[in-house]
Amino acid sequence: MIKMGSKVRWKWRNGFARGKVKEVFHRIVSKTINGSKVIMNGSKDCPVFLIKKEGESSEILLLQSDVQELA
């Protein structure tokens, strides 16, 4: 189960990107990321994760269905 602190990966360009889950949302969430307002609808069955990209200071919002937990 993916939770705060979990390491995850997701499809990005021609490969995968990695990062660490900073927050988990089970409701509608609105964040400003890189100057753009992003709104996503999280739920109990498919939460939204705020992820800090590995090796970068940037963050991304992704649905649980878009990420894979790393062992």
Domain that holds residue 27: 7-69
What is d(CA 68, CA 6) in angstroms, rounded to the nearest whole number?
Answer: 10
pLDDT surpasses 90 at 71: no
CA angle centred on 69, ends 2 and 38, rounded to 5°? 70
What is d(CA 19, CA 11) in angstroms, rounded to the nearest whole number?
Answer: 12
Q: Is residue 64 part of a domain?
A: yes
Q: Is residue 14 part of a domain?
A: yes
pLDDT tens digits, residue range 44-58?
999 999 999 999 889
pLDDT tens digits, residue range 11-45?
999 999 999 999 999 999 999 998 999 999 999 99
Q: How many domains does the chain have?
A: 1
Q: Is residue 2 part of a domain?
A: no
Q: Is residue 1 part of a domain?
A: no
The pLDDT of residue 22 is 98
